[in-house]
Structures are given as C-alpha cells and as structure tokens.
Amino acid sequence: MHKFAWYRMFFDTNLLERLWAQVRNVFYCSLILAVGSYTHVHPPDFLRGTPLDPYWGYPLIAIALFLFLLNLVDGLNQVLKINYNAFVKTFLILIHGVLTSWLVMVMWFFRIR
C-alpha cells in the first residue's frame, strides 16, 4: 500500500466535494451579510429620503443569517454522521465553528475596507 493512499479517501467518499460546498456556502452567506450591512449604513441613492432609510439592509442581513444557520446545521449534521468517538466529533464541531466564524469575520472586514 502506498504511504500517500489516504488522500484517496477525499475523492472516494466525496468528502472534498462536501467540504468545498460548506466553504462556498459560508462564503456566500458572509458576502450577503456584508452587502446587507453596507446597504444598512449606506442606502442606495434611489431609496434615499424614504421613511424606511435605516431599514434597507435588514432583509439581506436576515436572509444571510438564516442561510448561515442552515449551513451550520447541515455541517453539524454531517459531522455527527461520522463514526468516530465523541471526543473527535466534539473537536470537529469546534473546528467547524471556529473556521466558519473566522471566514465570516474576514469577509466582514473586507466590507469595512
């Protein structure tokens, strides 16, 4: 057996595809959140002067948070389906939460700059 045969696990079990889908969905959610928060602070010109000026970004923020929570639940569900002990599952859940939060913060800081 080849000593680098472990990488085939990523391709044989579609693990790489599922991991990429999680990262892509978090990226999209954080992008929608950044657009919604920018729209909340700087409403578009054609919407200025309306009584709803301070509230234009809230629907996008709500959609982004809803999609983010759906993605988080899906990721946790996939981690819990793995047949490892509770310590490894807890570690994977913590890693998933930290990396997801970090990606959202990075995207939000790009919005600020």
Q: Convert the pLDDT of each residue in 93-104 to its tens digit.
A: 888 888 888 877
Whether 113 shows a pLDDT value over 60: the answer reads: no
Assess contact for 64 and 33: CB atoms under 8 A: yes
Report how far residue 85's alpha carbon sits from residue 90's, in angstroms, rounded to the nearest whole number.
9
pLDDT of residue 45: 73
Report how far residue 15's alpha carbon sits from residue 91's, in angstroms, rounded to the nearest whole number.
18
**Looking at the domain assignment, is residue 23 inside a domain?**
yes
**Looking at the domain assignment, is residue 4 inside a domain?**
no
**Looking at the domain assignment, is residue 3 inside a domain?**
no
Q: Which of 65, 61, 1 is CA-nearest to residue 35?
A: 61
Domains: count for the chain: 1
Domain that includes residue 93, residue range: 14-112
Confidence grade of residue 91 (pLDDT, cut at 50, 70, 90) = confident
Assess contact for 28 and 67: CB atoms under 8 A: yes
